[in-house]
A and B are shown apart, each in its own frame.
Chain A
Amino acid sequence: MKYVSEFRDKKYIVPLVDELRKTIDRPLRIMEVCGTHTMAIFRHGLRSLMPEGLELISGPGCPVCVTSSAHIDGFIEVANREGVRVAIFGDLFRVPGSQGSLARAQSMGAQVEVVYSPMDALTLAGKYPQQMTVFLSVGFETTIPLVAATILEAERLKVDNFAVFSAHKIMPPALTALLGDPELRLDGLLCPGHVSTIIGAAAYEPLAANYRLSCVVAGFEPVDVLQAIIMLARQAREGRAEVENAYGRAVSWQGNLRAQKLMHDVFEPVDCQWRGLGTIPASGMAIREPFSRFDAEKRFAIRLTETPEPKGCLCGQILKGRKSPADCPLFAGRCTPVNPVGPCMVSSEGTCAAHYRFGLAG
């Protein structure tokens, strides 16, 4: 397939790994902040190809994992309301809040449907006119414009039994908050691929300038990731801290301006709680006032309350790159993909799930 097979050609792997070995001249700590990168790195065994001294750590890149248990509790509260049907992306189904998960709510009678697209949630509203369909929405910039387009479509079609509960988050404020942590000591940031399709490579310029951090936007094929890591290693070697783009076929410098406009037409930045990172100013995206009739949080008068993390769970530290899943006393014991305690084990793109699945328990 065009634009895919060329980037899956195995013949590049060995020379790229050689090039990486030649480039590295000191230990490097590189963070990826995209759950799809986490999975790509594990699935293709890229860790085992990394030269000694190159440490790859995972940051808060999985939108499901960083959804606070307060938001999950709010989601469940809506799901339990009379006459409500909730629609979700499948990853959210088993994520625990402080009082169980949506899976448990469903087993007790709540109507929970897994959808592929927010537009499918709007279709459900048409199919069940007597009920209120609420899309419980988590996601970063890749997803938020899609939800914005769905809300605009609902308005166009004058649908009055559809709403969105937005737990959306945007990446740059979280990265800024993360980089303020002196313990992190990062040498480079592997910037997310499809978040960057929307926001553009330029969005990382303040990080490169203010924190002297090398940033490279990466795609998802093994060679994409290797190429981006080499570019980060070259920057480290040459003492540069710049934004570069190793995913030019999908990411432009300015990003997708139409999607950005739609996102900002419908949503506005608000302070938002992140699991593990706490409340980060202007890092969430709430529905703007002119669209408030589609805002489930307002319509159902939901109040989010702070809830403690499960006892012993290190997800918070893991999402900040401070700890590895193996450091967690619950990992692979009380907390497994079948019986997850923390969100990093629930989501298929969570760091703990990746470590568990690919046998790094020790």
Chain B
Amino acid sequence: MCLAVPMRVIAVRGVENDFTIPQVGVVEAQGIEKEVRLDLVDRWPEIGDYLIIHAGFAIHTLDAADAETNLRLLREMADGVRAGAGGEKQ
């Protein structure tokens, strides 16, 4: 039920921190376009950003640097590297 998927932002409507008008993003993944609410998103997205969408709401704007770190740790682990691969406390 908590399944959520990353989708790419192709348009943003509304203004950050202005809740008097609906905050809506148009997102796309594999040819499917959807309008999603941006009320909850942790970082206001730019066009081209990837958002994690759950039940019609963006709950997270992916950060390219975080995704790269995530991938690097994965690769290191697959290569059997131990040192420094102990997760990502921030």
Contacts and interface: CB of A to CB of B under 8 A. Distances in A.
Interface size class of A (residues with CB under 8 A): 35 or more
A22 B79 CA distance: 12
B56 A249 contact: no
Contact of A4 (B6, B54, B59): B6
B77 A244 contact: no
Contacts of B50: 2-3
Nearest to B17: A258
Nearest to B5: A4
A262 B80 CA distance: 42
A354 B63 CA distance: 33
Nearest to B30: A1
A64 interface: yes
Contacts of A143: 1-2, 54-55
B37 A244 contact: no
A16 B78 contact: yes
Interface in B1-27: 1-6, 8, 19-20, 22
A38 B41 CA distance: 26
A216 B88 CA distance: 11
B17 to A, nearest CB: 10
A15 B90 CA distance: 27
A192 interface: yes
A56 B81 CA distance: 25
Given A145-B59, A149-B40, A248-B70, A1 B89 contact: no
Q: How large is the interface on B (under 10, 10 to 19, 20 to 34, 35 or more residues)?
A: 35 or more
A362 B75 CA distance: 37
A194 B62 CA distance: 13
B87 A91 contact: no
Interface string B37-78: 101111000000010101111011011001101110111011
Contacts of B52: 194, 197, 250
A97 to B, nearest CB: 18
B6 A194 contact: no
A36 interface: yes
A139 B42 contact: no
Interface string A241-270: 011111111101100111100100000000
A93 B39 CA distance: 28
A120 B35 CA distance: 12
A194 B54 contact: yes
B51 to A, nearest CB: 10
A142 interface: yes
A152 B70 contact: no
B84 interface: no
A244 B4 CA distance: 21
A244 B86 contact: yes
A75 interface: no
Given A19-B80, A149-B57, A246-B73, A62 B1 contact: yes
Given A89-B1, A247-B70, A22 B89 contact: no
26 contacts: A2-B8, A4-B6, A7-B70, A7-B71, A15-B80, A16-B78, A35-B1, A63-B2, A91-B1, A119-B37, A119-B56, A120-B56, A142-B1, A142-B4, A142-B59, A143-B55, A145-B40, A149-B40, A153-B22, A194-B3, A197-B4, A256-B59, A258-B40, A259-B42, A262-B39, A347-B1
Interface of A: 1-4, 6-7, 11-12, 15-16, 18-19, 22, 34-36, 62-64, 89, 91, 116-120, 138-140, 142-143, 145-146, 149, 152-153, 156, 192-195, 197-198, 201, 216, 220, 223, 227, 230-231, 234, 242-250, 252-253, 256-259, 262, 347, 349
Interface of B: 1-6, 8, 19-20, 22, 29-30, 37, 39-42, 50, 52, 54-57, 59-60, 62-63, 66-67, 69-71, 73-75, 77-80, 82, 86-90
The 8 closest A-B pairs by CB, nearest first: A117-B56, A244-B87, A249-B67, A142-B2, A15-B78, A253-B90, A149-B39, A248-B70
